Structure 1
């Protein structure tokens, strides 16, 4: 599977973010075969036709719709390039996290590293036009880069990402807090780092050095469900990605994801997904349903 890498020196100086309009060169941004990136992406479609397969969700593109992609998440695109309009935003985590001295910044945003809800949002025309202002200003700063441009771009990007977090949270009826209990954001980070090894609430409580009761309380407020459910959503997503994009046997996937035996993985998958891993693979391997 192809991995796209961030080009931080493309402008002749280091810039760990980039923003383009689809109208200028849409071929650069879309790939029909399954692929991944080592950076964060947001597709912002003002106007387009097609669909994207992202983390096991096949999502239609609508007017004023956005797609949020975290590093190394798998996706494939089937998009008509004629008469497309919108933006493609990419950035590396430390573009903002180092500036704000907050390595958990991206984990504070509900639309990144969220396996419970689709990483998709449709805006009203009014909402879209409000955030379009920030995007136009960022493009202008990149094109006319000056000594203070980095500060202006970071400020605009922070505004844009935070505004989207409010809209995403409101749409899915979840918490929009970005400075709540640090346990929530550390839990999201630990989940990404350890999901292939640890599947129980107690194991994450140990990593975070907090009680099970406290973790469940803050997770319930933030996600609207229990920490166990969040772990299971994320583990299910990892199994789906293996079934879609690898040729490993069910036993090999079970071993890679630290299940004691293949039957346990099959039971877990069937209970949450309502079908067997083999049937899921038959229907979806390499995004075969993306047509």
Structure 2
């Protein structure tokens, strides 16, 4: 059986020849849209295709790692004692030797936790989810990592021997895991942690994920939400510490980088797809946001 089959995850080729790996709990052999394993128990799927994306969240705790990963338009060097978080539908390309990796991982679909929580923006409240500004990979001391891995072991125990209340206990452990990791991440990167006054910032973040290829102005999103641009900007600044325009530009930049790295589209075609009025505007936007020309970025990333 191929490594991807071990978790019930199967590829679905898109027009761009990028596999979409879909989570299937039936094929996975568990009753939940969630699974946990150690690399010695189940191998990952990093070596199945050159490029792919998934329809689930992925959390990796690497004790030993080498190689690199192209993710979100960035080149990530893997190393020992590293945590990596990948949100759904991010395009990935791994360059690793499987026998050099030792890790424990958690994967789950957003639906799993949404079935239990009434907060539809919960995953968007977590600073490391759908993050385009800061890295979602970071070092973690062995003792700290072990505290998170211990929570994953408790979830795994319930998965392997489910009883009547296992679902509720698994969600409780997962909720604790996600919130504690968010505290760690927020502290690590000195991010705001004030109680939210409303959901505008999280709704905006959700809409960016769904509409960035069609709408590239903050005013468009404010109109969709029925709020003023000023109110939206205040909400985003309070929750994320950056302006609404900055959040949009970073998400748009990620889309541009993905197209450059993972498709055969020309700069002209990318500009048209993302509604830039002309290619020169796209190239100027890229240089302003990265300090590099597109050619310099491609040379550096693929070297």
Return the TM-score normalized by structure 2.
Answer: 0.87
State how far apart, in whole Å, the 1-side matches of 2:190 and 2:81 are.
20
Match of 1:209? Answer: 226
1:101 counterpart = 2:118: yes
Post-superposition shift, 1:27? 4.8
Taking the TM superposition and a 5 Å limit, the aligned residue runs for 1:141-160 are 141-160=158-177
State how far apart, in whole Å, the 2-side matches of 1:11 and 1:4 are.
13
Tell whether the 8 Å contact from 1:17 to 1:92 is kept in structure 2 after alignment: yes
1:74 counterpart = 2:114: no
Taking the TM superposition and a 5 Å limit, the aligned residue runs for 1:153-232 are 153-176=170-193, 180-232=197-249
CA RMSD of superposed structures (Å)? 2.0
Match of 2:280? Answer: 263
Question: Deviation per CA, 1:33-55, whole angstroms, max 9, x where unpaired?
Answer: 22111111111112323332211
State how far apart, in whole Å, the 1-side matches of 2:112 and 2:221 are.
28
Question: Deviation per CA, 1:250-287, whole angstroms, max 9, x where unpaired?
Answer: 11111110111112111111211223334434554xxx
Post-superposition shift, 1:77? 1.9
1:22 to 39, 45, 49: 39
State how far apart, in whole Å, the 2-side matches of 1:159 and 1:3 are.
29
Taking the TM superposition and a 5 Å limit, the aligned residue runs for 1:22-61 are 22-31=39-48, 33-61=50-78
- Closer/same/farther in 2, CA of residues 140 and 83 from structure 1, 3 Å limit: farther
State how far apart, in whole Å, the 2-side matches of 1:214 and 1:132 are.
40
Tell whether the 8 Å contact from 2:104 to 2:149 is kept in structure 1 after alignment: no
Bigger Cα displacement from structure 2, 129-138 vs 55-64: 55-64
State how far apart, in whole Å, the 1-side matches of 2:53 and 2:193 are.
27
Post-superposition shift, 1:30? 4.8
Bigger Cα displacement from structure 2, 122-131 vs 37-46: 122-131
Question: Deviation per CA, 1:129-170, whole angstroms, max 9, x where unpaired?
Answer: 211221111111111111211111111111101111111111
2:263 to 218, 230, 246: 246
State how far apart, in whole Å, the 1-side matches of 2:46 and 2:94 are.
9
Return the TM-score normalized by structure 1.
Answer: 0.91
Bigger Cα displacement from structure 2, 188-197 vs 266-275: 266-275
Tell whether the 8 Å contact from 1:2 to 1:36 is kept in structure 2 after alignment: yes
Match of 1:127? Answer: 144
Query: Could you say what secondary structure the match of 2:154 adopts?
Result: helix
> Structure 1: which 5+ residue stretches go unaligned?
none
Query: Structure with the greater relative contact order (CA < 8 A, sep ≥ 6): 1 or 2?
Result: 1
State how far apart, in whole Å, the 2-side matches of 1:248 and 1:11 are.
36
Post-superposition shift, 1:85? 2.8
State how far apart, in whole Å, the 1-side matches of 2:22 and 2:45 are.
13
> Structure 2: which 5+ residue stretches go unaligned?
1-17
2:153 to 136, 144, 167: 136
State how far apart, in whole Å, the 1-side matches of 2:276 and 2:92 are.
26
Give the count of matched residue pairs: 286
Question: Deviation per CA, 1:223-273, whole angstroms, max 9, x where unpaired?
Answer: 222111111111111001011111112111111101111121111112112
Tell whether the 8 Å contact from 1:36 to 1:71 is kept in structure 2 after alignment: yes
